Amino acid sequence: MDFYFGLIQIIGVHTLLGLSAYCVLLTGQVSLAQAGFFAIGAYVAGMLTVIAQWPLVPALGVSALVAGATACAVGFPALRVKGLMLVVATVAFGEAVRLFFFNFTYQVQAGNIRLGPHGGEGFRQIRYFPENGWTTLDVMLFIWAVVALVMAGLWWLNRSRAGAVLRAVGEDELAAQSTGINITAVKISAMTVGGVIAGIGGGIFAHYTTHIEHVQFGVVLATFAIAYPILGGLSNVFGTLLAVIFIQGFLIEGLRFMGDWRNLLFGGLIVLAMNVRPRGLLDAGAMLALKRLFFSRKERSDA
């Protein structure tokens, strides 16, 4: 049972990672910096609970603020470019963060062991959950409580004027600017919100894995971050969740028995899904069909 709880934990953390990229993609920008913000959140939260002995929730709050502030600072120069140049700029930032933590060492003595990040060897002994008696089920429920709060916030954002502004910028910048929308402010706000969510996800990731190192926050993780919302569709936040379940639950874990052949099938299924559902697995048409199905069943049950 712990295996399934662990898989659900992975899906939850990767959902936060995907939702962090979802915010930026709504404005029409493709950013590969999310892995960098994720790493910042992981190291900051880990250092606060391990070295400073903070409770987890305040540590996650600080990690979110630090990652969000970094995203805001990066957004000003990065979002002045578009398309391929933005992808290159954000990849460079993500790699700079990864290499920073590869060389970053800050440890304190605690009895017979030293605690804290130690360069290329990573950051070990992030044992907040086991030391405080959390079971695998407790961790899973905590992760999904955070996921539910973030998804609820983004769902509300989608239905608000702010969400309409984000989509307007993503669909046509010139038209949005002609109506008086500050394009730069909107893009930086989306990048900042994405950084906050990635910081929370990274902090949780560090604590449920108990050991992090720089190689975990490379380009592959950044690619996963943008693949989830693109594959799931940008019409609503539930598409990202569906894509994470499809990739992490089915392709990665469900097909583990295939060994290396799984990598070839993984790429083929992604290409197939994007050709069959170019606007995502849960696009506006799929949502409309689900609403019709739901309401028709409700009408039949009322009758």
Q: What is the pLDDT of residues 172-200, one digit of tens each?
A: 888 888 888 888 888 899 999 999 999 99
The half-sphere exposure of 271 on its side-chain side, counting CA atoms within 13 A, is 6
Q: What is the pLDDT of residues 212-246, one digit of tens each?
A: 999 999 988 998 898 898 888 888 888 899 889 98
Through-space distance between the first and last CA atoms of the chain, rounded to whole angstroms: 42
What is the C-alpha to C-alpha distance for residues 61 and 249, in angstroms, rounded to an integer? 28
The half-sphere exposure of 258 on its side-chain side, counting CA atoms within 13 A, is 13
Which of 98, 74, 65 lies closest to 196, judged by CA? 65
On the question of pLDDT at 29 being above 60, the answer is: yes
Q: What is the pLDDT of residues 87-125, one digit of tens each?
A: 888 899 999 999 999 999 998 888 788 888 998 889 988
On the question of pLDDT at 38 being above 80, the answer is: yes
> What pLDDT is stored for residue 197 in this prediction?
96
> What pLDDT is stored for residue 105 in this prediction?
92
Which of 245, 144, 283, 258 lies closest to 204, judged by CA? 144
What is the C-alpha to C-alpha distance for residues 63 and 38, in angstroms, rounded to an integer? 9
Burial of 29 (0-12, 13-18, 19+ CB in 10 A): buried
On the question of pLDDT at 68 being above 80, the answer is: yes
> What pLDDT is stored for residue 283 in this prediction?
63
Q: Which single residue is written with the structure tokens 């290396």?
A: 260
Label residue 301 by pLDDT band (50, 70, 90): low
